[in-house]
């Protein structure tokens, strides 16, 4: 209650409809204009490395992309893309030492799914969306090719594709590049389940064929001490739908960049995230949705909780609607629940709209504490304070976790979250079915 930046309970009377104060978030920054990447980006002609969208004059600078790590320069921590990241802790990755280390893979591949490997010269690798920062470029280079999950066109998988990716606790950095290629009109869920101890950077590209429906779930359930960086890209085909669910619970430092581009009109992308940071953790999620073709939809919902002195989360949500992207509909929302003093959540939504002919565009960000009024309300119905607190947090996360659509995984994540809330008695006996 001593930090005026995080103590928002006094505002509750004005927050009738919100869990916490919209926009007045602790460090919920005002929408900012995206700073072009610094480093060598300034030398590059805007648009030179765009993902193929039109480059209208007078529009914001293009985001710099390159497969060459040196094109980005070495980050100092002052760059827009790195300014939130603890440089000391990410240094082992940014140093970029070559290595043959791998994660230990456990795979469950349903009928109709093929797992192969291609080398760096393969056209598939060459054609992937380019890295957006030095770490991603290093990763692309060091991974020397890619592991490829291929899901045949029109496949209807009877269960999710699961890749258990476990860190083995080695000293060496692990570099990885995964491509998930889903054929037209296929329907698939792919789960990346990260556990164990590793210093890992993994690129993930999902190519969603026309009319396909793909869910990618990335669980970061790392052991303490793990460091995880990575760039996720989705290329969403015509009339296709892509759902990404990111659940970051474990590890010391997790910094994931998720980009979405649309290969044709009518695409739909939903990016969901949950994260829970305690005093040892830095969790950073940076999103970039690039609307460059007409009639696509994007919807972003990230929710995080912070508990403990020094807990730190960063959420950056950039959405760009280019002049050609008429009929776009986009909404992004980030909520952070600050459970204790001394935690810090940064939340920076940013929307660049370059055409007026859209269906809708909006964003919201809210960071705050438990609302005393909510707890009073629940307690005034006989519910004890601890159960009330859990109901509120559970509801907060369940809202997102439910979108995974894999019951066993949902249950596991909810129980991990509950365990993190403290081993408090009573909840198991409570008939708390979240609906």
Partner 1 sequence: MREREEVSVLEIRDLHVTVGEGDDAKEILRGVDLTVRSGETHAIMGPNGSGKSTLAYSIAGHPKYTVTGGTVTLDGEDVLAMSVDERARAGLFLAMQYPVEVPGVSVSNFLRTAATAIKGEAPKLRTWVKDVKSEMELLEMDSAFAERNVNEGFSGGEKKRHEILQMRLLKPAIAILDETDSGLDVDALRIVSEGVNRTREEGEIGVLLITHYTRILRYIKPDFVHVFVAGKVVEEGGAELAEKLENEGYAAYVKGSKETATA
Query: Coil, strand, or helix at residue 417?
Result: helix
Contact 375, 385 (CB under 8 A): yes
Pairwise CA distance, residues 151 & 183, whole Å: 6
Pairwise CA distance, residues 131 & 59, whole Å: 22
Considering the complex, state which of residue 33 and residue 380 has its C-beta at the smaller distance from partner 1. 380
- Name 16's Cβ contacts closer than 8 Å, sequence gap at least 6: none
Considering the complex, state which of residue 13 and residue 45 has its C-beta at the smaller distance from partner 1. 13
Instruction: Give the interface segment with partner 1, choosing from 15-23, 37-45, 231-239, 351-359 (CB under 8 A).
Output: 15-23
Pairwise CA distance, residues 180 & 242, whole Å: 12
- Minimum CB separation from partner 1 for residue 380, in Å? 5
Considering the complex, state which of residue 16 and residue 408 has its C-beta at the smaller distance from partner 1. 16
Site string for partner 1, 82-121 (x = CB under 8 A): ----------------------------------------
- Minimum CB separation from partner 1 for residue 268, in Å? 24
Pairwise CA distance, residues 290 & 263, whole Å: 11
Nearest to 369, CA basis, from 334, 397, 338: 338
Pairwise CA distance, residues 291 & 250, whole Å: 32
Site string for partner 1, 315-354 (x = CB under 8 A): ----------------------------------------
Q: Give the interface size with partner 1 as a residue count (CB under 8 A).
A: 34
Residue 364 interacts with partner 1 (CB under 8 A)?
Answer: no
Mark 369-400 as b/e (b = at least 16 C-beta within 10 Å).
bbbeebbeebeeeebeeebbbbbbbbebbbeb
- Minimum CB separation from partner 1 for residue 315, in Å? 18
Considering the complex, state which of residue 324 and residue 392 has its C-beta at the smaller distance from partner 1. 392
- Minimum CB separation from partner 1 for residue 150, in Å? 38
* Angle in degrees, 0-180, between the axes of helices 385-401 and 407-420, rounded to the nearest 10: 140
Contact 317, 300 (CB under 8 A): yes
Considering the complex, state which of residue 122 and residue 399 has its C-beta at the smaller distance from partner 1. 399
DSSP secondary structure, 377-390, as one string = HHHTTT--HHHHHH
> Which DSSP helix (H) or strand (E) runs through 353?
strand 344-353
Instruction: Give the interface segment with partner 1, choosing from 14-22, 139-147, 227-235, 267-275 (CB under 8 A).
Output: 14-22
- Minimum CB separation from partner 1 for residue 93, in Å? 35
Considering the complex, state which of residue 35 and residue 434 has its C-beta at the smaller distance from partner 1. 434
Q: Which of residues 16-75 bind partner 1 (CB under 8 A)?
A: 16-19
Taken as a whole, the chain contains a residue count of: 435
- Minimum CB separation from partner 1 for residue 249, in Å? 18
Considering the complex, state which of residue 16 and residue 423 has its C-beta at the smaller distance from partner 1. 16
- Minimum CB separation from partner 1 for residue 109, in Å? 35
Q: How far is CA 376 from CA 17, 198, 212, 358, 422, in A?
A: 16, 43, 46, 42, 21
Considering the complex, state which of residue 169 and residue 426 has its C-beta at the smaller distance from partner 1. 426
Site string for partner 1, 368-407 (x = CB under 8 A): ---xxxx-xxxxxxxxxx-xx--xx-xxxxxx--------
- Minimum CB separation from partner 1 for residue 430, in Å? 6
Q: What is the DSSP letter of 13?
A: G
Considering the complex, state which of residue 72 and residue 272 has its C-beta at the smaller distance from partner 1. 272
Nearest to 300, CA basis, from 274, 282, 323, 325: 274
- Minimum CB separation from partner 1 for residue 398, in Å? 6
Considering the complex, state which of residue 228 and residue 394 has its C-beta at the smaller distance from partner 1. 394
Nearest to 146, CA basis, from 164, 119, 165, 166: 119
Pairwise CA distance, residues 271 & 66, whole Å: 24
Query: Coil, strand, or helix at residue 5?
Result: coil
- Minimum CB separation from partner 1 for residue 85, in Å? 30
Instruction: Give the interface segment with partner 1, choosing from 106-114, 214-222, 285-293, 427-435 (CB under 8 A).
Output: 427-435
- Minimum CB separation from partner 1 for residue 371, in Å? 8
Q: What is the DSSP letter of 60?
A: P
Residue 430 interacts with partner 1 (CB under 8 A)?
Answer: yes
Tokens describing residue 305: 């909780």
Tokens describing residue 231: 């760039």
Considering the complex, state which of residue 32 and residue 430 has its C-beta at the smaller distance from partner 1. 430
Instruction: Give the interface segment with partner 1, choosing from 13-21, 178-186, 215-223, 245-253 (CB under 8 A).
Output: 13-21
Interface with partner 1 by CB under 8 A: which residues? 16-19, 371-374, 376-385, 387-388, 391-392, 394-399, 430-435
């Amino acid at each position: 209650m001593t930090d005026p930046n995080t103590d928002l309970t006094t505002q509750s009377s004005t927050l009738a409809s919100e869990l916490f104060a919209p926009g007045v978030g602790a460090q919920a920054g005002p929408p900012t204009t995206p700073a072009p990447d610094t480093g060598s980006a300034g030398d590059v002609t805007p648009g030179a490395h765009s993902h193929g969208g039109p480059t209208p004059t007078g529009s914001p600078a293009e985001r710099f992309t390159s497969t060459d790590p040196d094109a980005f320069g070495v980050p100092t921590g002052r760059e827009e893309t790195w300014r939130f990241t603890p440089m000391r802790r990410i240094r082992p990755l940014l140093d970029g030492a070559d290595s043959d280390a791998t994660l230990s893979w456990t795979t469950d591949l349903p009928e109709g799914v093929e797992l192969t490997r291609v080398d760096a010269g393969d056209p598939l690798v060459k054609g992937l969306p380019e890295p957006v920062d030095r770490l991603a470029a290093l990763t692309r280079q060091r991974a020397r090719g890619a592991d490829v999950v291929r899901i045949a066109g029109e496949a209807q998988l009877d269960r999710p594709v699961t890749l258990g990716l476990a860190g083995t606790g080695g000293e060496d950095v692990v570099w990885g590049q995964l491509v998930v290629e889903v054929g037209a009109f296929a329907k698939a869920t792919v789960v990346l389940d990260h556990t164990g101890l590793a210093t890992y950077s993994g690129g993930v590209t999902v190519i969603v064929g026309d009319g396909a429906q793909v869910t990618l779930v990335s669980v970061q359930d790392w052991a303490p001490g793990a460091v995880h960086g990575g760039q996720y890209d989705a290329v969403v085909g015509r009339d296709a739908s892509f759902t990404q669910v990111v659940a970051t619970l474990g590890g010391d430092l997790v910094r994931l960049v998720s980009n979405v581009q649309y290969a044709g009109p009518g695409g739909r992308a939903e990016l969901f995230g949950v994260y829970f940071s305690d005093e040892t953790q830095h969790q950073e999620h940076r999103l970039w949705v690039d609307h460059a073709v007409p009639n696509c939809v994007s919807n972003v919902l990230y929710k995080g909780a912070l508990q403990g002195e020094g807990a730190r989360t960063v959420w950056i949500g950039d959405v760009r609607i280019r002049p050609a992207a008429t009929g776009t509909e986009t909404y992004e929302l980030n909520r952070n629940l600050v459970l204790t003093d001394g935690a810090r959540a940064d939340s920076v939504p940013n929307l660049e709209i370059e055409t007026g002919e859209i269906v809708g565009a909006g964003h919201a960000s809210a960071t705050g504490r438990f609302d005393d009024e909510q707890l009073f309300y629940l307690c005034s119905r006989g519910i004890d304070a601890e159960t009330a607190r859990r109901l509120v947090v559970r509801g907060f996360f369940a809202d997102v976790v439910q979108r995974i659509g894999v019951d066993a995984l949902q249950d596991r994540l909810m129980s991990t979250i509950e365990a993190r809330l403290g081993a408090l008695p009573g909840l198991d006996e409570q008939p708390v079915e979240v609906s």
